[in-house]
Amino acid sequence: MDNLTFRYSILLMEGLQVTNLSTHLAFMLFLLAYIFIIVSNIGILIQISVEKRLHQPMHILFCNLPLNDLLGTTVLLPHLMSHILTDPSERYITYVECAMQAFLGHVYGTASHTILMIMAFDRYVAICNPLRYPTIMSNNMMVILSAGAWGAAVVLVGILIGLSVRLSHCRSVIQSLFCDNPSLFKLSCENTMINNVYGLTFTVVLLTSSLGSVVFTYLRIVMVCFKSKNKATNSKAIKTCSAHLAVYIIMMVSGFTIIFLHRFPASSESRHLPSIMFHVIPPSLNPIIYGLQAKEIRQRLFKLFYKSKVNSV
C-alpha cells in the first residue's frame, strides 16, 4: 500500500511530560482548576438566567463568554488529566476524536475573539451612545451578534479542519498536548500549501479584525471619557473597560505565543505552558473579572454567601 494513502485510525499523543514524583500533584492542580472553572462559569450562567434584573443586553451577551470558556476548558483538561496518569507509550486517541478535539479547540480560540469583539461593541454603544443604547441593543441585535460570533467561528474553523482531514497521512504521533490543526496536517506527507495559506489567512484576518475592532472601540471610549466632565461615568467606563482589556491581553499573549512556537518544531516543549494558559487562565479569570465587576451579579453573590453563612450558624 502506498504510504501517502495510508491512514492511521489510532494516534499516539505526546501529552505533558511530568516526572513520577509530580504526577499526582499536577493531576490535583488541573483537577482543582477544572472544578473551579466549571463551578464559577456555570454559577454565573445560573445567576444571570434566574435573576430578572440581570436580563439586560450586557449580561445576556456576557453569557456567551462562560459558555465558550466551558467548551475550551473541557476540550483540554479532561484529556490532559487522563494522559498524566497514563504511561507515555499508551496515550492513544482515535483519529476521529483527534479531529473533533482540534475542531472544538479552534472554535474556542476563534469564538474567544469574536465574543470579545461583540462585547466591546456593546460597551462602545453603552458609553458613546448611551441614549440610543436601548434601541440599538435590542433583542434582535443580541441574537444577531451572538449568532454571528458563533457562526463565524464554526464556519471558518470547519473549513480549516476540513482541509486537514481531507489529507492522507503517513505519521501517527501528535507532538502536542492536544490535537490542533497544525498537529493534524503535520501527520501528512502530502503537500500542505493550501492548509498553510488558508491557516495563515484565517489567522491574519481574525487577529486583524479582533485587534482593529478593540483598538477602535477603546480609542472612541477614551475620546468620550476625555471630553466628558462626569467623573462617575468616566470611572465606571474605565473600570468596565480595564476588565475587558485585561482578559483580552492575556488571551492575545497566550495565543500569539502558541502560533509563534508552532513555527519551530524543536520548541514543542515550550508550547505547553502557553497552551495550558490559553485554556485555563482566561476561563478562570473571566467569571471573577466580569462577574464580580457587574454590580448586580456581585450583590447577588454576596447575598447568597451571607444567607448560607447565617443558615450554617
Query: Residues 4-56: pLDDT tens digits?
Result: 444 568 888 887 777 777 888 889 999 999 999 999 899 888 888 887 777 77
pLDDT at 4: 40
pLDDT at 255: 72
| Residue segments in the chain with a per-residue pLDDT below the cut of 50 | 1-6, 310, 313
CA distance 280 to 70: 10
CA distances from 272 to 6, 51, 55 (A): 29, 39, 39
Q: pTM for this structure?
A: 0.85
pLDDT at 156: 95
Kindly state the cell numbers that stand for 86.
497514563
pLDDT at 157: 96
295-128-122 Cα angle (round to 5): 55
Q: Across all residues in the chain, what is the average pLDDT?
A: 81
CA distance 205 to 223: 27
CA distance 135 to 150: 23
pLDDT at 310: 47
Q: Report the DSSP pairing between strands 92-94 and 10-13.
A: antiparallel
pLDDT at 5: 44
Kindly state the cell numbers that stand for 52.
430578572
